[in-house]
Structure 1
Amino acid sequence: MTIQIATVEEAAAYLERLVAGENPDDFSLTGEMDVLHIMIDGAKYHSSVPGELARGLWQYQEQIYAAASLALHGSRDIRKLTADERDALELVFEVKAGCSDFKASIGKLIEKIGESIVTMDNATKKKIILCIAGLLVAGYMGQAGIAATAEVYKDSNKKEQVVLVEAERTKQFEIFAKAMSGNKVVDSFKEASVEGGKAIVRAAGDAQEIEIGRTNLDQDDIHALNSRSPKARSESEVLDLDFRIFQVNVRNEGTMKYVLAGPGTGEFVATMDESQFSGDDLTKVLSAVQERKRVRLEVVIARANGVIRSAQITQVF
């Protein structure tokens, strides 16, 4: 029986089964999982595509070509793609009236990538396909693209909102980002999603709102992303380590701020939304503080120039 996977949640659940060692029935991607959705809202973007936005969309397409070229030919050099391959990998957007609302099926793209990994075992192939589709249709931009921009807001309420809202989204995205961590094809599509998304944000810098998959950016977010120096570019990373907790502060109701240190990390500040954790998880953390012992945590961090700029505790073991 073929399982229909229509949402990011369904894809993440299926992927978690694969990571756990199961090999569920084959799947087909439908609904949300078959569509790359980009929406630009603003005075200049009513059923039109200004030249700058067209360049941004083309830069996104080039990122997809480069990632696919790595999968098909072992190199990100897009000149290696044949005309037929480019045709299969091209994102053909339909534009909705009233704003620049673009939707493109990724079915042909996914099928072409699947052809390049036929020699792999079935479970690994499924992981790769789901990871690539999930990263693209969910609009993965990583901590580098969203949560790390909280640094731009310094101590404002906006900073707090960005970190907390993105925490839940990050948990979902990181399932896709982590499942095949180290796989060069998945990593290449992860980079394509991040850099392609940034290209669109740069191109539509005067927009009121931008949606890329499930990533929603308002004017403050857009300004923050476009204000950050390329030299200070952050990269997301997931740490699974035994940490010591040196300091605890309450940021607001239900949100804690900890000073952590793990092997080789030095001390850094991480936030934790207690509403997302069980009572047992919170007890483990509290015991680690009181007894000054290590506790194993999963922490999503963003680095810039080698320095941890933001961090979110996403799991307690």
Structure 2
Amino acid sequence: MNPKLLLLTLLLSLTLTACAPARSEPESGSEASAPSSQAEEQPSEPASSVQESSADPAGEESSAPESQQPRTLPDWADESFYTAVVDWAGGTRTADSLVERYGDLIVSDRYFRLANEDGSLSGWIELGRDGTVPETVPVEELYQNSARLEQFRANCKAGKPDQLVWLSRGDPLLYGLQVYTFDGETLWREFLMPERSDLLTSADLSESELVEGDGWWQINTVDGVRGILVPEEALTRSVLDLEEVLRQAEEAGYTIVQEPADRSGIPCTYYQLWNSEKTGMYYSFYAAEDGSCWFYGDEVNGSIRLAVEAASPA
């Protein structure tokens, strides 16, 4: 079965349930598929299994082995760095200025969600305020300083120690930091989230592995939590098989409501799929009348999200 249709089938039968609880970890787009973004959506994607680590009782030392202790941020991630991150999240500092000042930092300034299903990379990216609908989305628009990502990947494959810090917009938190540390043998992923203006708190530390596919690579934890996902080429617009989507919805007992709509100047049909007998089973999307685009909308903030996918390998 086509990966997208398989994903849709799972979506209609499983994912479209009551809205998922708020996630504690902001996900960038690296963890969920485009369709699932509507159920809660957002992304969002599959909720992560991150749990906050409880503080050790005063006066007691952690019983965890040294290898399991939280990794530390690099020397340049000092108090001024944290202040810069807060300014960025508040809109008073640009991502470009962060990258210029902290050359090792990866910044995801646009909200997006990516996932791979059976090796096929797809997802969505939130459109900018100008409302333009791009034909393609280059990697640099997902991850500023993306060349540093490739350097980290190469070092991991070569057995050379390296560390990467990724700052991304998230939901419900405004942002989060993920730190990837390779010591020459083991790769670690640590998620840090702000709890106070003067403290970064480690929420999760997991041993991870580098996974590569056709046209993409990803860092997953060994217990299955998906981390950063990087396409090797620009993403293109994605359009699902509308006829098949509606057929499966009808078979699953959904009522289908449609009406004309407009997304960023493109005439569309707005589809709402719901089942009154199963509370919370709801899904919506916008399909361009000319078949050129597929959009998802955030019912909370009204943002527009363009469905995208990786080009099929030659």
Same fold by TM (over 0.5)? no
Which category describes the TM-score, using the shorter chain as reference length? under 0.3
Q: Which has the higher helix share?
A: 1
Larger strand fraction of residues: 2
